[in-house]
């Protein structure tokens, strides 16, 4: 069955190729740091399932120290000049969109097709979308490489150019997920719940709603993830106050509460894959540029959520 | 209560603009030890969680294709296409992408967008081209703002669209959490209550995108002064 195992091998080979190409790039003054970093990441994908957890932990710490002190360098793969790109664009025309759109198209198709019962056992149904996305990459490459007459080394060098632009931020989302797990194991959630219930005033439905929606947003900003904040804030405020004391509808509380958390996601560097990674990917001078573009909408939607919850949750 | 020290480490670390990888690792180690775990146990927990979340980073394998197409002029082609459509402005284009992204996310098609696959190669260059078409060459600051808003449109549309789909992770998490507390609900009941917020987000961000072209013109005028 095609599942995460195969995807990890593919990703591991990709990162290993990045490490090797990086090692051969004498123009990058920090090339050995880059090679160490991506090499360790590749080993996490290729051998991670066989390593003891504590060894894996030290692999991660080694990566963090490699990239965290002094940063990584940027290689100098042959980026084509804009003139050549414009000439190529006008020669190829709209055909260029074909491979680009093949990725989402394959991801979409695969998500449906692989869930069909007659194909059960071929692809892990829980990973159908991710498997289809990676399949889409291969479909796109098989269209684009002959079209452009590119040898396999070209996409790998171009991939390295983009990955160098993202840099260490590429592993931040995965790091934050790991941080969430340590927080859970250390009992941070229970501590927050206790804190919240001692601080809240009694008797006010409105205060309870505001504490819950804004608490979801703020705690999501700290944790970087509404999924981590939801159980904590709902056990601390949502269930005991809004539902049990004031008789609110748990369905509306849950739905609007989670969406209040998403408002927090838009406003925090901790939600790295939505906010910090695109800033790096789009080469913005300000690391928080995406967050700044989102704050007005995030705050207004949070206010709207608070009003919606207050108006709707006590009705039924 | 001692385990809350980790949160302080995160907040202070980000405020001091330390490298986020160092901040996160320090917060994990401090939290684990403050929560009563052995240091090696914390390292093992961190290592295991990092391993179990590797799927988050698989998405980077799209970069070789995107890079190859960029080399062949994908961004330039996207720009040329939009530059030829006079009615296209940065605000209208981002609004259109926002609406499409929100609708597809609501249908469960969350992988039709994304920063690496859609925003960098297509949406951001298109929005830049539309802005250039109407305002002339863009100052760096304005260019960065257009790109940032392209990323923002993707995020906001995704967040306030996906919860309308019943099989999305967050809906299942809410259902699971309520079930643990003895409250049984159907995913459909939850996803219906995601619709009011989705409409508010559409209204709020939609108005901002309609005003975005004026905002850009103002930024450029202020820059020239």
A200-220: average pLDDT? 88
* Beta-carbon separation of A100 and B37 below 8 A: no
Together in a domain, B220 and B143: yes
How many CB atoms lie under 10 A from the CB of residue A306? Answer: 20
Choose between B175 and A300: higher pLDDT.
A300
* Beta-carbon separation of A100 and B59 below 8 A: no
B27-37: average pLDDT? 91
Together in a domain, B13 and B94: no
With beta carbons under 8 A apart, name residues in chain B contacting A58: 43, 47
Tell me the backbone φ, ψ of residue A81, rounded to 5 degrees.
-75, 155
Residue at B66 is within a domain:
no
Together in a domain, B120 and B163: yes
Residue range A246-268, pLDDT digits in tens: 999 999 999 999 999 999 999 99
Tell me what pLDDT residue A119 has.
Answer: 77
Together in a domain, B51 and B81: no
Tell me the backbone φ, ψ of residue A282, rounded to 5 degrees.
-90, 5
Judged by average pLDDT, the poorest of A61-65, A143-147, B180-184 is B180-184
- Establish if B178 touches chain A: CB-CB under 8 angstroms: yes
Residue at B68 is within a domain:
no
Min distance A14 CA to chain B CA atoms (Å): 7
SS3 state of residue A2 = strand
Min distance B225 CA to chain A CA atoms (Å): 22
Together in a domain, B36 and B117: no
Both structure tokens of B76 = 């330039």
Cβ(B60)–Cβ(A11) below 8 Å:
yes
Together in a domain, B163 and B213: yes
The helix-helix angle for A205-223 and A188-199 (nearest 10°) equals 150
> If DSSP states are collapsed to H, E and C, what string results for chain A?
CECHHHHHHHHHHHHHHHHHHHHCCCCCCCHHHHHHHHHHHHHHHHHHHHCCHHHHHHHHHHHHHHHHCCCCCCCCCCCCCHHHHHHHHHHHHHHHHHHHHHHHHHHHHHHHHCCCHHHECCECHHHHHHHHHHHHHHHHHHHHHHHHCCCCHHHHHHHHHHHHHHHHHHHHHHHHHHHHHHHHHCCHHHHHHHHHHHHCCCCCHHHHHHHHHHHHHHHHHHHCCHHHHHHHHHHHHHHHHHHHHCCCCHHHHHHHHHHHHHHHHCCCCCCHHHHHHHHHHCCCCCCCHHHHHHHHHHHHHHHHHHHHHHHHHCCC
Residue at B83 is within a domain:
yes
Cα B161 to Cα B199: distance, rounded to the nearest angstrom:
9
* Beta-carbon separation of A85 and B32 below 8 A: no
- Above 80 in pLDDT, residue A131? yes
- Establish if B169 touches chain A: CB-CB under 8 angstroms: yes
Residue in A68, A154, A290 closest to B148 by CB: A290
Tell me what pLDDT residue A316 has.
Answer: 63
* Beta-carbon separation of A99 and B65 below 8 A: yes
Judged by average pLDDT, the poorest of A25-34, A120-129, B26-35 is A120-129
- Establish if B215 touches chain A: CB-CB under 8 angstroms: no
Residue in B11, B57, B115 closest to A171 by CB: B57
Using alpha carbons, select from A44, A47, A53 the residue that is nearest to residue B40: A53
DSSP element (H, E) containing B50: helix B39-52
Mean pLDDT rounded to a whole number for chain A: 89
- Above 80 in pLDDT, residue A190? no
Spatial CB neighbours of A95, under 8 Å, sequence gap ≥ 6: A147
The helix-helix angle for B195-224 and B124-135 (nearest 10°) equals 40
Tell me what pLDDT residue A78 has.
Answer: 60
Both structure tokens of A151 = 């040898």
Residues 47-86 of A with CB under 8 A from B: 48-49, 51-61, 63-64, 67-69, 71, 79-80, 82, 85-86
- Establish if B225 touches chain A: CB-CB under 8 angstroms: no
Residue in A45, A172, A182 closest to B31 by CB: A182
- The 10 Å CB-count burial string (b at 16+, else e) for A39-61 is bbbbbbbbebeebebbebbbbbb
A162-181: average pLDDT? 88
Together in a domain, B201 and B102: yes
Tell me what pLDDT residue A10 has.
Answer: 96
Residue range B86-133, pLDDT digits in tens: 889 999 999 999 999 999 999 888 878 899 989 999 999 999 999 999
With beta carbons under 8 A apart, name residues in chain A contacting B178: 250-251, 254
Mean pLDDT rounded to a whole number for chain B: 91
Min distance B213 CA to chain A CA atoms (Å): 14
CA terminus-to-terminus distance, chain A: 47
Tell me what pLDDT residue B4 has.
Answer: 83
* Beta-carbon separation of A254 and B178 below 8 A: yes
CB burial class (10 A; 0-12, 13-18, 19+) of residue A299? middle
With beta carbons under 8 A apart, name residues in chain B contacting A10: 58, 61
Residue in A44, A87, A137 closest to B51 by CB: A44
Together in a domain, B158 and B196: yes
With beta carbons under 8 A apart, name residues in chain A contacting B117: 100, 103-104
The helix-helix angle for A128-148 and B63-71 (nearest 10°) equals 30
Together in a domain, B90 and B169: yes
DSSP symbol at A28:
-
Residue range B53-78, pLDDT digits in tens: 898 899 899 999 999 999 999 999 99
Residue at B10 is within a domain:
yes
How many CB atoms lie under 10 A from the CB of residue B214? Answer: 11
Residue at B90 is within a domain:
yes
CA A57 to chain CA centroid, Å, is 20
Domain containing residue B33: 4-58
Min distance B25 CA to chain A CA atoms (Å): 7
Together in a domain, B120 and B157: yes
Provide ipTM, 2 decimals: 0.89
With beta carbons under 8 A apart, name residues in chain B contacting A311: none
How many CB atoms lie under 10 A from the CB of residue B30? Answer: 21
Together in a domain, B169 and B201: yes
Tell me what pLDDT residue B2 has.
Answer: 78
Cβ(B25)–Cβ(B50) below 8 Å:
no
Min distance A166 CA to chain B CA atoms (Å): 10
Residue range A51-89, pLDDT digits in tens: 999 999 999 999 999 998 888 888 776 667 888 888 888
DSSP symbol at B35:
T
- Above 90 in pLDDT, residue B207? yes
With beta carbons under 8 A apart, name residues in chain A contacting B34: 186
Residue at B220 is within a domain:
yes
Number of separate domains in chain B: 2
Together in a domain, B80 and B181: yes
* Beta-carbon separation of B37 and A186 below 8 A: yes
Residue A10 vs residues A125, A137, A237, B32, B57: alpha-carbon distances, Å: 19, 11, 44, 33, 12
């Amino acid at each position: 069955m095609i599942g995460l195992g195969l995807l990890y091998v593919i990703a591991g080979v990709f990162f290993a190729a990045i490490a090797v190409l990086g090692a051969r790039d004498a123009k990058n003054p920090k090339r050995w740091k880059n090679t160490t970093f991506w090499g360790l990441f590749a080993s996490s994908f290729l051998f991670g399932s066989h390593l003891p957890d504590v060894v894996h932990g030290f692999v991660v710490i080694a990566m963090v120290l490699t990239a965290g002190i002094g940063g990584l360098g940027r290689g100098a793969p042959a980026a084509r000049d804009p003139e050549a790109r414009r000439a190529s664009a006008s020669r190829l025309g709209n055909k260029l969109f074909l491979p680009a759109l093949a990725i989402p198209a394959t991801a979409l198709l695969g998500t449906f097709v692989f869930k069909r019962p007659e194909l059960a056992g071929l692809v892990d149904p829980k990973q159908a979308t991710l498997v289809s996305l990676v399949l889409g990459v291969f479909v796109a490459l098989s269209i684009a490489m002959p079209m452009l007459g590119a040898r396999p080394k070209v996409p790998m060098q171009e991939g390295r150019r983009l990955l160098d632009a993202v840099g260490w931020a590429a592993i931040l989302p995965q790091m934050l997920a790991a941080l969430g797990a340590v927080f859970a194991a250390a009992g941070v959630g229970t501590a927050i719940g206790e804190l919240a219930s001692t601080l809240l005033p009694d008797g006010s439905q409105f205060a309870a709603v505001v504490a819950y929606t804004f608490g979801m947003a703020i705690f999501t900003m700290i944790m970087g993830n509404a999924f981590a904040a939801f159980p904590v804030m709902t056990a601390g405020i949502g269930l005991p106050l809004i539902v049990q004391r004031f008789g609110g509808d748990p369905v509306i509380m849950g739905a609007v509460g989670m969406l209040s958390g998403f408002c927090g996601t838009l406003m925090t560097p901790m939600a790295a894959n939505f906010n910090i990674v695109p800033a790096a990917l789009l080469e913005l001078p300000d690391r928080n540029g995406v967050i700044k573009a989102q704050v007005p909408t995030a705050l207004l939607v949070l206010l709207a959520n608070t009003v919606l919850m207050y108006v709707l949750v006590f009705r039924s | 209560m001692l385990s809350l020290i980790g949160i302080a480490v995160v907040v202070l670390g980000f405020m001091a603009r330390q490298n986020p990888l160092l901040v996160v690792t320090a917060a994990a180690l401090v939290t684990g030890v403050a929560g009563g775990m052995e240091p090696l146990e914390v390292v093992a927990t961190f290592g295991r969680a990092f391993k179990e979340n590797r799927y988050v980073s698989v998405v980077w394998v799209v970069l070789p294709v995107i890079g190859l197409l960029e080399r062949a002029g994908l961004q330039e082609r996207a720009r040329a296409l939009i530059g030829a459509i006079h009615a296209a402005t940065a605000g209208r284009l981002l609004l259109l992408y926002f609406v499409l992204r929100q609708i597809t996310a609501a249908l469960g098609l969350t992988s039709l967008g994304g920063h690496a696959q859609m925003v960098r190669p297509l949406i951001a260059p298109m929005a830049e081209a539309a802005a250039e078409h109407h305002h002339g060459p863009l100052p760096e600051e304005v260019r960065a703002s257009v790109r940032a808003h392209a990323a923002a449109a993707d995020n906001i549309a995704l967040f306030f669209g996906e919860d309308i789909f019943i099989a999305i992770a967050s809906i299942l998490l809410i259902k699971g959490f309520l079930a643990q507390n003895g409250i049984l609900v159907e995913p459909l009941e939850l996803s219906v209550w995601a619709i009011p917020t989705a409409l508010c987000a559409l209204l709020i961000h939609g108005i901002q995108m309609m005003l975005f072209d004026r905002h850009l013109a103002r930024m450029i005028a202020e820059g020239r002064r």
